[in-house]
Amino acid sequence: MTYDAIIVGAGVAGLTAARALARAGRRVLVLEGRDRTGGRAFTDRTSFSRPWDHGCHWLHSPERNPFTRIADDLGFAYAPRAAEGGIFVDGARLPPEAEGEVTRFVRQATETVRAAGRAGRDVALPEVVDFSHPAARHFAALMRGKMGVEPHLISALDFTRYLWEGDDRPLRDGFGALLQRYFADVPVTLSAPVGAIDWSGRTARVTSPKGVAEATRVLVTVSTGVLASESIAFTPRLPDWKVRAIEGLPMAHSVKVGCEFSKDVFGMPETTMIPCLFAGDRSMEVEVRPFGWNGATCYLDGELARRLEVEGNGAARALALEGLREIFGNGIQAHLVAAVETAWDRDPLTRGVYVASLPGRFDDRATLALPVEDRLYFAGEAMDPDFAGDVHGAHRSGLTAAEAILRDP
C-alpha cells in the first residue's frame, strides 16, 4: 500500500500532524524509533514514589498554551505558580538588599535584550549586555536556564521572539503522561527508527527495521541533532539551503537530576524554585518539594550540562547532590532514597534537548520549516519562532505541516 503520508517520529509534532491528516481522510503511517511515543516528553513512573518527567514538565505561557485546557479536560493537576525561594550563592541565601540588586540588574538586562530583539538585532547577548557587572553571572544563569546554551551563543532576537507570558505551571502527574493520554488514539509503529528516506522516485521510500514503506509525502519531525548527525540517509541529499538551516539550529544542553528523600529535608513550601550559584560560576535551579513530594528536581544547563553528559558515570547526580548539601546541610545525604539523571545528549534519537538558534541565524527556523519540492515536509519545536523548545510549539508546528500537506495537490 502507498500511504498519503509517512511521518517520521512520534513526538508531539508528529502525533499532532498524524491526527490532523487522519481526520482529513488521509492514509498515514507513523514510524517511531523508540518503544514509546512522546519523544522528549517522558514521564518516569518507576524511579520514585511519584511520577517524574525526564523531559517536558512545565506549562509555559499557560494562558496561550492549548495543553492547559487539555490538562483541565483530562483531569491533570498543575500548580497555579511556583513559589520563589530566594537567590542562593555558595549555599547561602543572599540578604534582601543583595537580592534586590541582583533582581534589578536581571530585569534591566532582560529588557535591554528585548529592546535589541524588538529592533531586529540578531546578535549575541554580550553585544548588548555588560557581562562584567557583578550581578551579570545571575543573568547568565537565567539565560542559560531558558535557552540551554551560554550567553555568547544566545541570539537577542531569538530570545525576544519567544513568548514567555505568565507563571510557568508544573504538572503534578507528568507532561509525558498527559501526552500519552491525549494522543492515545493515534496509531504508531514503535521500535522503527528510520534509517533512509529515498525521495528520488514518484513515491518516497522510507526504510526502517519494519521494512520499506512508500508514500507520496514524508513529514520529518526528528530533532535537528538527529538531522545534523545524518543518521537518516536522504536520497537525493537534502539541498544546501536546508542543510545550512540545520547547521544554524544546533541542539541545546540540559540535565535534570531528580532526588527523593525519606522525609522533608528542605523546610520550604511545596513547589518552590531556587536559583543557585556555586564556585566556578556553576549554576543550578532547584524545584523543591513539588506538590509536597519529599524530593527535588535540579536543573543544570548549557556547557556544564554538556560536560556532565560527556563525563557520565553519575557526574550530574553527584554535582546536584553536592549543591543540595551546600544549601540544606550534609545531613540530607542520610535520607536520600533515590536519584536519577537525564541524558538527552547521549540519546541517539534526540542528541540534545531543544534548539537555540545561533546569533545571526534566527531566520533558519522558518527556513527549516519549508518543504522540499512538496515531497519532504518538516515539523518540530525548532521551527516555531514564538514557542521554540516547548510542547505547544511542537504542537503548532505539527498542525502547520499537516495543513501544508493537505493544501498541496
pLDDT tens-digit map of 36-59: 999 999 999 999 999 999 999 999
Q: Compute the mean pLDDT over every residue in the chain, rounded to the nearest whole number.
A: 96
pLDDT value at residue 291: 93
Q: Vertex 355, ends 214 and 402: CA angle to 5°?
A: 35
DSSP conformational letter for 375: T
- pLDDT tens, residue by residue, 65-122: 999 999 999 999 998 888 889 999 999 999 999 999 999 999 999 999 999 999 999 9
b/e burial code for range 115-150 (CB count within 10 A of at least 16 → b): ebbeeebbbbbbebbeeeeebbebbbbbbbbbbbbb
Residue 289 has pLDDT above 90, yes or no: yes
Cell of 245: 538551516
Picking from 31, 345, 273, 48, the residue whose alpha carbon sits closest to that of residue 174 is 48
pLDDT at 167: 84
- Segment 170-199 mean pLDDT: 97
Span 314-339, average pLDDT: 97
172, three cell numbers: 503534578
pLDDT interval class at 380 (50, 70, 90)? very high
Which CATH code, of 3.40.50.2300, 3.90.660.10, 1.10.357.10, 3.40.50.970, is assigned to 83-166+252-341? Answer: 3.90.660.10
User: 281 pLDDT exceeds 80?
Assistant: no
Lowest mean pLDDT among 4-13, 18-27, 164-173: 164-173
Take residue 276 and report the three cell numbers written for it: 543557585
Place of cell 547532590: 321
C-alpha cell at 398: 505539527
DSSP assigned state of 263: S
Would the pLDDT of 368 be above 80?
yes
Q: Is the dihedral of CA 119, 124, 127, 128 positive or negative?
A: positive
> What's the average model confidence in pLDDT over 325-347?
97
Q: Which of 162, 353, 389 is nearest to 254 (CA)?
A: 353
Rounded Cα distance between 108 and 112, Å, is 6
Give the CA angle between residues 216, 220, 223 to the nearest 5°: 175
CATH number of 2-38+183-250+352-407: 3.50.50.60
Give yes or no for a contact between 284 and 278, defined as CB atoms under 8 angstroms apart: yes
pTM for the complete prediction?
A: 0.96
Q: What is the pLDDT of residue 409?
A: 66
Residue 343: what residue type? Answer: A
DSSP character for 325? H
Per-domain boundaries in the chain: 2-38+183-250+352-407, 83-166+252-341
What integer is the mean pLDDT of 370-393?
96
pLDDT recorded at residue 192: 98
DSSP state letter for 35: S
Residue 376 φ/ψ, nearest 5 degrees: -110, 130
Q: Which residue carries 536546508 as its cell?
A: 242
Backbone region of residue 155 per phi and psi (left: phi > 0; alpha: psi in -120 to 50; beta: other values)? beta
Q: pLDDT digits over 208-221, tens only?
A: 999 999 999 999 99
Q: Cell triple for residue 187?
A: 496509531
> Is it the case that residue 180 has pLDDT exceeding 90?
yes
What is the per-residue pLDDT for 188? 98
Residues 242-278 have pLDDT tens digits of 999 999 999 999 999 999 999 999 999 999 999 999 9
Q: Cα dihedral sign for 275, 250, 357, 368?
A: negative
Instruction: Give per-residue pLDDT as tens, 119-150.
Output: 999 999 999 999 999 999 999 999 999 999 99
